[in-house]
């Protein structure tokens, strides 16, 4: 099979590379732009408060962050509490350009936490507990998202009535194909980088043990919407490989890049150590994003072949759906002639989910036609013969797992949103749309609310409604 080639300086090729070039329903979409204001994207974690006990070791808080990347905030919070970052526990990372609310469990005295003052954040002390929280320990996320500047594919603005009609039409179309309020469980562009899909490239270099290439990519790979300052910095690294000089020129907001460079200044050409200057969660994200390519391409291949995402085929691997919406991959079953009817019935009842691959050392692939699609996806993404053991950083090794091909959203609501005040404009909104954009400043503004299970991307549901380029999310 010929190797697929992608020009990652081209927006459409980025969509193809990420496997995000298919739709559940062929609707016109509403276009528009997300995150014009920070307040336009709100995420509230749906989670149960750990059992409280006045004698508990840990302090439980509800943290609300305005425009904070989660890892950066947790490092800042740890410093303010005088503890290691490893002593703060959360159930997941949230969107940066957003207002987010989530539970944190902090291994620090209450008075230390109460004294914390960090700009653009609020901490509500809930009490003490003996319990930690871990990744995906929450029940889901409630989103309130405002899309602004709705417009047609030809660039003409849409009014609110027509925009809402299209949203409801697409919702109905997805329901007819996938089931009520179900949508394809794509892994969203923020896993990869919508304008600079660097994380899977870095992940491949790490899995292959080439840490110099991993660092070169992280520091130097260009993107489609870089400022002149960032573009000059990335070119400087690729041209010079001089960490000290590049550190002087690095823009302040490139904090992770600066951490790598600072490490390389003290440890010349120790690229392994340079890569490990990234937070552990970000190191792991590079591996997960590489796996995610295979999943998205499997999902895209399935839609292209006309296979159902909800109803299983012979050879599919299905897994029980838990109350939270997560699947129990430890209890997966192969769909055979013997259990096909039973599996179909339980999938329709929402008890089982058809899954797709997140490859690793011991990952299972489907059989039959679904298995052929998955094998093709692995070939397209050049993952079919990869050794997923990361010898120099063993905790990044992965056995692989499976992920539901479709999920259900709940508590859906759409309404017209208010206009922006003049002092609320983002820089991109103020500049106006480019030729390749799909938004119009005179287009309608819609507010859409829904709840999703853990690990599911709000942006991919919004993408179904909007049909905008990836850099609009």
The answer for residues whose C-beta is within 8 angstroms of residue 385's C-beta and 6 or more apart is none
Please give the structure tokens belonging to residue 296.
């998205």
Secondary structure element (H or E) that encloses residue 126, with its range: strand 121-129
3-class secondary-structure state, position 28: coil
Q: Is 95 an active-site residue?
A: yes
Of 471, 424, 461, nearest to 178 by C-alpha is 461
- Strand 121-129 versus strand 33-34 pairing type: unpaired
DSSP code per residue over 45-60: EE-PPPPB-TT-SEEE
Q: Give the number of other Cβ atoms within 10 Å of residue 193's Cβ.
A: 21
What is the 3-state composition of the chain as percent helix, strand, coil, each rounded to the nearest 5? 40, 20, 45
Tell me if 14 sits within 8 A of 21, measured CB to CB: no
Of 407, 443, 450, nearest to 187 by C-alpha is 407
Tell me if 3 sits within 8 A of 381, measured CB to CB: no
Catalytic choice (40, 53, 95, 154) = 95
* Alpha-carbon gap, residue 281 to 263, rounded angstroms: 18
Tokens 């709000």 identify what position? 458
Catalytic residues: 95
């Amino acid at each position: 099979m010929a190797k697929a080639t992608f020009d990652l300086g081209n927006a459409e090729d980025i969509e193809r590379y990420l496997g995000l070039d298919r739709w559940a329903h062929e609707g016109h979409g509403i276009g528009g732009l997300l995150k014009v204001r920070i307040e336009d994207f709100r995420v509230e974690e749906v989670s149960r408060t750990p059992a409280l006990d006045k004698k508990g070791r840990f302090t439980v808080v509800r943290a609300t962050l305005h425009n904070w990347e989660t890892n950066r905030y947790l490092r800042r919070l740890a410093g303010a509490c005088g503890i290691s970052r490893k002593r703060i526990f959360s159930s997941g990372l949230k969107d940066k350009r957003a207002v987010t609310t989530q539970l944190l469990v902090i291994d620090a005295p209450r008075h230390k936490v109460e004294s914390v003052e960090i700009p653009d954040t609020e901490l509500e002390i809930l009490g003490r507990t003996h319990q930690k929280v871990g990744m995906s320990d929450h029940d889901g996320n409630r989103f309130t998202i405002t899309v602004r500047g709705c417009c047609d594919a030809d660039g003409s603005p849409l009014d609110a009535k027509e925009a809402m009609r299209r949203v409801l039409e697409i919702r109905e179309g997805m329901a007819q194909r996938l089931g009520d309020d179900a949508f394809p469980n794509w892994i969203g562009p923020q896993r990869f980088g919508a304008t600079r899909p660097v994380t899977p490239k870095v992940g491949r270099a790490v899995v292959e043990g080439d840490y110099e290439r991993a660092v070169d990519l992280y520091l130097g790979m260009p993107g489609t919407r870089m400022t002149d300052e960032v573009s000059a910095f990335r070119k400087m690294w690729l041209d010079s490989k001089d960490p000290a000089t590049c550190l002087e020129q690095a823009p302040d907001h490139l904090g992770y890049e600066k951490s790598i460079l600072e490490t390389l200044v003290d440890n010349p050409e120790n690229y392994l150590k340079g890569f490990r200057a990234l937070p552990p969660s970000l190191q792991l994200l590079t591996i997960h994003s590489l796996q995610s390519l295979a999943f998205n391409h499997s999902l895209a291949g399935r839609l292209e072949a006309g296979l159902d995402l909800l109803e299983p085929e012979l050879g599919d691997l299905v897994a029980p759906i838990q109350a939270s919406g997560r699947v129990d991959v430890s209890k997966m079953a192969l769909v055979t002639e013997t259990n096909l009817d039973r599996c179909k019935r339980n999938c329709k009842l929402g008890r089982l989910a058809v899954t797709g691959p997140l490859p690793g050392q011991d990952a299972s692939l489907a059989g039959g036609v679904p298995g052929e699609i998955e094998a093709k996806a692995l070939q397209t993404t050049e993952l079919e013969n990869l050794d997923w053991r990361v010898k120099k950083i063993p905790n990044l090794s992965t056995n692989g797992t499976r992920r539901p091909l479709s999920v259900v959203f709940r508590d859906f609501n759409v309404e017209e949103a208010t206009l922006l005040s003049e002092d609320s404009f983002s820089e991109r909104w103020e500049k106006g749309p480019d030729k390749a954009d799909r938004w119009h400043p005179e287009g309608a503004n819609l507010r859409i609310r829904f709840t999703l299970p853990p690990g599911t991307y709000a942006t991919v549901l919004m993408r179904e409604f909007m049909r905008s380029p990836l850099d609009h999310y």
